[in-house]
Each structure stands twice: as C-alpha cells, then as structure tokens.
Amino acid sequence: MWIMVSGPYRTGSTDPAVWAANLHRLNAAAYEVFRKGHVPVIGVNMALPVIDAAGLERYDDLMMPLSLCLTDRCDAVLRIGGHSRGADDEVARFQERNLQVFHSMDEIPDTSSRLV
C-alpha cells in the first residue's frame, strides 16, 4: 500500500526548529511504514521543494493544496502527532473515500516479507 503519513508540521509554531522536529517525526514514522513493507508518502516532503522554488511567500497557496492532491494517490493514511488542521483535512479525504485511517503503527499490516 501507499500510506500517507500525516501529522503536525508548522501548526501553532513560528519556530523553524519546531518545524524541523515535526518533519523528523513524520520521516521517522515513514521509515517504520517502509519497514512494514509499504510505500510511505509525506505531503510536506512533496510540497517543500515546490515552495522553495516558488518562494516562501507562496507557502499557504501551495502546502495544503499539493498535500491534499497527494491524498488521492494513496491507499491509506497514518495519522500521528497532535493537533493539526491540515493533517485532519488529509484524514478527512481518506474517510470520504472509505479508505483506511491508521492511528498507530501496530494497526498497519506487516507485509515486509514482500520487500525486495
């Protein structure tokens, strides 16, 4: 499965160190998803290079629209961390399509034996 990892990134903070710590948590969870035999996807990781090219002032125009578009390409979502309106919006997209929403790594099936 392609599993989006969704959680807080900038929510409630103007501190780049907090953003970096949140991104690290998303990426660490993505690694665990991969270890379970799935393809992890993070909207922030897709959007940040585009935002960098367009200019930081375009952050609000690009971050969530790109991330929400990415939800349409994934089979399920893992929701981690605390409060995040953006992550909740991503989860809602999966729920609207009746796709799986995981709330812990333990809920994700282990298909790692299929890894090449």
Q: In this predicted model, what pLDDT tens digit does every residue of 61-107 receive, in sequence order?
A: 999 999 999 999 999 999 999 999 999 999 999 999 999 999 999 99
pLDDT tens sequence across 60-70: 999 999 999 99
User: Domain extents for the chain?
Assistant: 2-8+16-106
φ, ψ dihedrals at 41, nearest 5° = -135, 135
Phi, psi of 52 (to 5 degrees): -60, -40
pTM equals 0.94
CA atoms 115, 5, 68, 14: torsion sign:
negative
The CATH code of domain 2-8+16-106 reads: 3.40.50.10400
